[in-house]
Amino acid sequence: MKDFQELISSYRNFPRKGIVFKDLLGILKDPDAFKELIYTMSEDEVIKNCDAIACIDARGFIFGSPIAFNIGKPMVVLRKPGKLPGELITADYELEYGKNSLSIQKSSIEKFSSFAIVDDLLATGGTANCAYSLLSKLGKEVTGLSVVAELRNLNARQILEMEVVSQIEL
């Protein structure tokens, strides 16, 4: 198993003072590591037990797309404001450094009853919780959250109402 932590960079005071940004893009520069990560994430029960993969904008797309391709399941996207056309369902959430919202196209989820949420990083849980709330309020089951990395010291698992599977603890 590759040591994924060696491929992660930290940037202090980004995007705001006091934040240490964990950049997972180094994994993409190592094709063997990226392939291993995608295959490993694809084997999670959270992923296997869903009808479709719901990926969070924007880095969740990077990891969710190859997972969906690998297991032959559809992928839908949860986007930040102003990025999707059509009839949208939107919810607001708070980040450790501000506020934002996520939207999903209502038509993109109509055919599916259960979703695995995929993102790159779990920090405070605000974004993941927003994705969960969006899908749940539409009567959809969420099998869980699959992330590449988790900042365990921020204790996001305690606020989430779903199973969390992370490949790396930072």
Active site residues: 59, 96
Nearest to 74 by CA among 64, 87, 89: 64
Task: Measure Cα distances from 167 to 3, 21, 34 in Å.
Answer: 11, 18, 12
**Token pair for 158:** 């305690």
Peptide bond into 66 cis (omega under 30): no
Residue 94 DSSP SS3: strand
